[in-house]
Structure 1
């Protein structure tokens, strides 16, 4: 008798139904792509002529034939076509294929939303979503009161950053969003024939506008441009969806009743845009003030718009409905003297709130387009505004109008609670070396004969803790300081001003990049004390957050924090902040430093060590994960990443950076944005409550991972930092030089003016490897590590690694992300870029090593995961990647040829523009590249 377990008839029917649904979804996606592709083709024909359209079609069909049949003849034919084009034709072709990638992304996003809705309609909940996690928690015995208590001390904070990996202009994104809205309308609305024709025409109009819009920015972004771009996502999604999510969660916990009171607003938006000074000389004190004004202006404008709409809705007459005494008093205070509202107390109350809010805008010196209805006193805080709105809420509820209170008013009250007058919590960040130089200058001027930089670490700690206790200022108006020191002090003073103006939530964190020791944190404490954000009695108005980035710093992080929390003077500051200490972990630089495997493992080990240290000191740990979009910079599914954290590392509080193109992919669509916010909240809840501490990995897992990491580290460092000529190979075989010509951010690509890998920022490092389709930071070293480890541990062998993958979420996530990265890579395309290296011996030496490691990594990955091909376990993504290759490969081929021409000093300006367009198109086709 066979021991194989056979599926039941019910399971077979279920599987067939699932397969049928998948086929139907795939067919609908293809139909959307064909529709948009057909409209784009018509646009190209109309705008560029039949010859260009025919050329695009020849390239497209030849590339598809090559990929479908692996026809070498087709590949040679494709290369012949592409090599024979003029520069002018090349630019047109690149634009066509780039826009196709953008339109295909829209269709895929629309299909994902369609599937999300279908699952929600079928099950009432969506996999991985908050409702499902709440159901799991309640099944494990956590009642509504327990969950409310959990959220009362929780913090889930996505932090938007301006890291430059979004290659699209806002003008382009706006048009793409219109296309997405039109696709959505086709699905949701039953059109008449006339309406269907109008929708088709509008789609054509949007695609034509796209074609005639500059794909590339002509000028470099300023920091305030970046701020404005970031604020757009509040309009698209966040202003409405954050309050809606919290209200929906409150309803689910209360069963629609509000007797238990309001749920804590644990979801808080953060931002680095306009506050991140690390390596960006353009973020000054004045720019930071401008950032806060823009943020405040946007949220106050939103409140005023909502109050205007609320006033129109609350037309309740006094003789038809009772009101509370406090509502009557609020209405009587209103400066609104219109006779039309004399018998409408709610409208009078709202107009009074409106008047006070416009006065508040004047107090805060922010611009708004709305005019007051009369003179009124400004609010001193957002809590005062919330209190007035609560008066309306209580009056409606007490007079049997709860259903009205649960509408716009409820969402507005929640928005005020979430966003205050500052909109997003702005972090300030600077490199530890800058803080060190600033403090050194202040100390040396204040203490004659002192040389701070000559002091050892212990002497520095002693001096700095003494300064924290001293009421004497370090600065003097009689000393002439350097521009750098004056600039740093100006930023800290501007932060103190912002606290006084907007409240303490406006700038809650000061982050220290490249934090390497205790003195790095104490230096920031001294600077904060100098501007009054820390006082000598040990109270702090701001969190001091170390950012551990390199492999060495991650390994030292636990010891550093153990020492910090043991220092009486620092511990007083932590206790004044509610005994919560935030620690930021850097995924990007640790990857560039040690490779994908070692970076992931050292981050995991650092978290284990930090959890132990913080528990011993009875301080709550809040981890801030500096993740990028690409896997090489810590990217990948947020839910899986949070669930894979070691026990105790989440503990109800988490902050995560959202960067570059990931911001637009997650938050430009309201429904997708809401889903992503729910994912963060659900994963935080599950990791905190549903994963008991005893689920820590077995010791033999940790030992094996240590060994694999050491082997992968050796392979990665051996290639990147120890191979002679590797720097030359990298700068020759990638678009690193040309990326710097894109106007996609305000920050320089390197920290110093050198070609060294150490000084290069992680973003252009990862971005460059993605463009040439190698994605090297996302996998290099894994194959040789597995091969060597198995040879050294034959008694455990592959079976043990398969067990690791099956039983350990961390290892499973590591391999899953690698699976996706390798699926998007192409060694054949990468070989074309290697040909750009003029030194043939160097090219063969380095690319030969990369090719061998690529093959061995794929082989090891498939064996451990039990797959026959990459992405076998993720068919939707597999099809997406497979469908994209025929449109990506021509862009890569053209990019190589244009790079060759550009580096041969061809003066034609179209060549650089063509390279920039290919960067845009390839980035769009790969999606998470930065």
Structure 2
């Protein structure tokens, strides 16, 4: 314990010296940023920040704070002049956030120097003279994998040009190169931070591919190299552990802008970017290998890589085996004839080809079950399928529908023009085969069914494949149900039991190696049932799904749809995986990384390697220990059942409050998020209708609360649940559960992280609002109740006390963006008044523009 405390103290000292001090130093360079009227802006911003801080302490309104500031420090106080200067403040603060990110990233290795070493290496050392342990390690390594899936969400908006500046700025800060830092800050000042128009899905994919090309290509290979070396040292065979996934261009769930051509373009783009990476590496290798005996193979590989990287007319095919074969020939010659000189460079490229093949990252296809049911119905109305189904098929119950399914390959004669969603689905099903032929099976092998509510949702999709160009023997697709709502999670095991018992599906799974992928969504389950119920529902679903899979001897791979903030499954994610017991399948860790999580945790090679290693450590440690999860013991399970229900009731009561949605609409930029030009997806699914909570995407929902600095989805209801347990005399039981369960402790820690990014003092003036004052007080009282009882439960005096560096980082970031929050609220306040069309447009832009910096500074707020 003392050692851990010392390590925390050392990290805190490093953070103060390396991050805070350097940020303050480089921040002074902002006076030279090339903005219009830069002198006035740079001089007035510190004064404005102080006014904001004092005004919030005094519970003043944003309008009162801003108007008072302009009256005291400026001469021209027209609405246009005020908005003009506020826009310049925003530009400054956006770039201050970037600077702080770069300074923090530059100190990453120093801040994390004391973290635990590879769990794999630790267990390998233990197994040297322990045959049973060694066999267990071999089996675990053979089955274990980590798949990180990059998803496009409207909180990751830095264009490639800014990402490149951040990378260069981080490098310059590492060496304290003041001259370069100054130049890069000036470049940053002139570089646009956002697009003038919304990107297409292909634009999003290209932006996100920056991380594949500049970070993951190197980081994943470096981690795999360490794993290979560790296994080799202990005479164990190498095993590919890391996989990459990709959603932009494939995820059409509710995004009307994703079409088959988007999917085709993205698959081609991923392939081309990958081969340019290979070609770049091979050119460096070629410069070193100038010996006799390898000329022919060098020339052959060079020619193939060049054509695949740069020739748009080349007929594409999966050539990964060809590359590996010829690279191995070069390596063998180097070892046999040239003392192995530079063979390590060849080994590195071989490793990358083994990891990324001809596809780079697997492109997942996702569509809502309701759309897929409509497509199935459309196909059934056409020959020859219509003769095989009863006319009343849609009115049959689930059991009768499953009995009616025929699973026959057929070429359908379509007589009526399908609607756009149906046509896209049919074209995509046909196109997946071509993508697999061009880039390899791993390029596109999963079809995710959102809102999966019954076994027939999956079985009917399989029929769609058989009716549109596929045969049973070549059905190289993993059908992945996505269970999201509290209700759907509760029934997930029963659905999978039906599938595992179905003869056609059972045969298909056997052909797929007996492995079932199941996706579980945190975002919609939180929006549906609140923070605690969402986490507990997913835990129980995993236990039930694992038991069902074990009964049928199915290898289960859970794919967690985790968002950035704790309320959507983010936070200390690896601790969740490390705390799984033997009752939960955990040998295939798969999760989405999205929004600011990508840039904050995987934005540099150093941070990406660290976080991947943390995830692998979590999986290996949990797999080796295989402890029973104490949350399944009656004492703990009954307690969590009660708390989750109490929390759920409290949250649902809030959600059903008549002012709930209108409060968000009036005081947050929720209704303006659709105008933000950083995403191709709409904020809500029913884009043409009025705003309804059920149609609102979880990202927009959580983002709106984060902009208010209230983060309701991350804690609401947990204080009430704890208070009820205390009243019932169960407090000691709750404390015991917290102390003994790593899973429950992580839930609590992440909840406190979410609360640490909330600040109700910013909106304290809402208490005086005639219509919404009582509602705000209700939110505030639950926050204070939750905070008080969480601190009591953890034995801490402040939130995130056991994570002092992260706590300090959050504090600095929140201070930087406080003016943005107030500017946003000021703009929304003004929009409630009578304004001209021109003023309305300016105020909306002002409000929208602040969202970027607030989200970026929070790193996992949306």
Q: Does 1:551 align with 2:492?
A: no
Change (3 A) 1:130 1:273: farther
Q: Does 1:922 align with 2:854?
A: yes
Q: Does 1:913 align with 2:849?
A: no
CA positional deviation for 1:677: 1.7
Change (3 A) 1:146 1:389: farther
Query: What CA deviation, in whole Å up to 9, does each residue of 1:6-47 have, x standing for no partner?
Result: x9xxx69x9679746643541222221112211113437x85
Contact 1:733/1:834, CA 8 A, preserved across alignment: no
Q: Which residue of 1 aligns with 2:683?
A: 749
Q: Which residue of 1 aligns with 2:74?
A: none
Contact 1:159/1:655, CA 8 A, preserved across alignment: yes
User: Structure 1 stretch 409-418 or stretch 380-389: which is displaced more?
Assistant: 380-389
Q: How does 1:363-402 map to 2 (within 5 A)?
A: 366=312, 381-399=319-337, 401-402=339-340
Q: Which residue of 1 aligns with 2:207?
A: 229
Q: Which residue of 1 aligns with 2:793?
A: 864
CA positional deviation for 1:424: 0.8
User: Structure 1 stretch 883-892 or stretch 577-586: which is displaced more?
Assistant: 883-892
Distance across 1 between alignment mates of 2:629 and 2:262: 48
Distance across 2 between alignment mates of 1:271 and 1:689: 30
CA positional deviation for 1:357: 3.8
Contact 1:444/1:452, CA 8 A, preserved across alignment: no
User: Structure 1 stretch 756-765 or stretch 226-235: which is displaced more?
Assistant: 226-235
Of 775, 778, 781, the residue aligned with 1:846 is 775
Distance across 1 between alignment mates of 2:60 and 2:542: 53
Change (3 A) 1:18 1:664: closer
Q: Which residue of 1 aligns with 2:746?
A: 813
CA RMSD of aligned residues (A): 2.8
Distance across 1 between alignment mates of 2:693 and 2:214: 38
Q: Which residue of 2 aligns with 1:725?
A: 659
Q: Secondary structure at the match of 2:342?
A: helix
Q: Which residue of 2 aligns with 1:356?
A: 304
Query: What CA deviation, in whole Å up to 9, does each residue of 1:81-100 have, x standing for no partner?
Result: 44646111111122222322
Change (3 A) 1:456 1:912: same
Distance across 2 between alignment mates of 1:533 and 1:735: 46
Q: Secondary structure at the match of 1:94?
A: helix
User: Structure 1 stretch 206-215 or stretch 561-570: which is displaced more?
Assistant: 206-215
Q: How does 1:393-432 map to 2 (within 5 A)?
A: 393-399=331-337, 401-402=339-340, 404-406=342-344, 408-432=345-369
CA positional deviation for 1:133: 6.4
Q: How does 1:172-187 map to 2 (within 5 A)?
A: 172-186=162-176
CA positional deviation for 1:923: 1.3
CA positional deviation for 1:110: 2.3
Q: Which residue of 1 aligns with 2:550?
A: 615
Of 733, 736, 746, the residue aligned with 1:803 is 736
Query: What CA deviation, in whole Å up to 9, does each residue of 1:818-874 have, x standing for no partner?
Result: 111111101111335678xxxx45402321211111111111111111111111111
Structure number with larger C-alpha Rg: 1
Q: Which residue of 1 aligns with 2:293?
A: 345
Contact 1:59/1:78, CA 8 A, preserved across alignment: no
Unaligned runs of 5+ in 2: 72-76
Q: Does 1:310 align with 2:242?
A: no
Query: What CA deviation, in whole Å up to 9, does each residue of 1:166-214 have, x standing for no partner?
Result: 133333222222211101133xxxxxxxxxxxx3222111111212222
Q: Which residue of 2 aligns with 1:764?
A: 700
Query: What CA deviation, in whole Å up to 9, does each residue of 1:457-505 have, x standing for no partner?
Result: 22221122x2x1x2434x2144543333222100100101112222211
Q: Which residue of 1 aligns with 2:722?
A: 786
Change (3 A) 1:929 1:686: same
CA positional deviation for 1:875: 1.1
Q: Which residue of 2 aligns with 1:531?
A: 468
Contact 2:251/2:364, CA 8 A, preserved across alignment: yes
Q: Which residue of 2 aligns with 1:501?
A: 438
Distance across 2 between alignment mates of 1:17 and 1:384: 49
Q: Which residue of 1 aligns with 2:536?
A: 601
Contact 1:647/1:695, CA 8 A, preserved across alignment: no
The TM-score, its normalising length taken from structure 2, stands at: 0.92
Q: How does 1:166-565 map to 2 (within 5 A)?
A: 166-186=156-176, 199-255=177-233, 261=237, 263-316=238-291, 344-358=292-306, 366=312, 381-399=319-337, 401-402=339-340, 404-406=342-344, 408-445=345-382, 446-447=385-386, 450-464=391-405, 466=406, 468=407, 470-473=408-411, 475-535=412-472, 540-565=475-500
CA positional deviation for 1:629: 0.3
Q: Which residue of 1 aligns with 2:41?
A: 52
The TM-score, its normalising length taken from structure 1, stands at: 0.86
Change (3 A) 1:483 1:895: closer
Q: Secondary structure at the match of 2:680?
A: coil
Unaligned runs of 5+ in 1: 1-6, 120-124, 187-198, 317-343, 369-376
Q: Does 1:712 align with 2:654?
A: no
Distance across 1 between alignment mates of 2:619 and 2:493: 23
Contact 1:312/1:347, CA 8 A, preserved across alignment: no
Q: Secondary structure at the match of 1:757?
A: coil
Change (3 A) 1:65 1:381: same
Contact 2:318/2:358, CA 8 A, preserved across alignment: no
Contact 2:279/2:302, CA 8 A, preserved across alignment: yes
Contact 1:650/1:688, CA 8 A, preserved across alignment: no
Change (3 A) 1:162 1:19: closer
Aligned pair count reads 844
Q: Secondary structure at the match of 1:447?
A: helix
Contact 1:282/1:746, CA 8 A, preserved across alignment: yes
Of 520, 542, 556, the residue aligned with 1:585 is 520
Contact 1:533/1:540, CA 8 A, preserved across alignment: yes
Q: Secondary structure at the match of 1:268?
A: strand
Q: Secondary structure at the match of 2:107?
A: helix
Contact 1:775/1:825, CA 8 A, preserved across alignment: yes
Q: Which residue of 1 aligns with 2:102?
A: 106
Q: Which residue of 1 aligns with 2:18?
A: 28
Q: Secondary structure at the match of 1:164?
A: coil
Distance across 1 between alignment mates of 2:60 and 2:649: 41
Q: Which residue of 2 aligns with 1:896?
A: 825
Change (3 A) 1:808 1:135: farther
Q: Does 1:643 align with 2:578?
A: yes
Q: Which residue of 2 aligns with 1:629?
A: 564
Distance across 2 between alignment mates of 1:142 and 1:179: 50
Q: Secondary structure at the match of 1:774?
A: coil
Query: What CA deviation, in whole Å up to 9, does each residue of 1:236-270 have, x standing for no partner?
Result: 21112212211111112223x8x655x12121111
CA positional deviation for 1:144: 6.0
Contact 1:773/1:826, CA 8 A, preserved across alignment: yes
Query: What CA deviation, in whole Å up to 9, does each residue of 1:218-250 have, x standing for no partner?
Result: 111111111111211122211122122111111
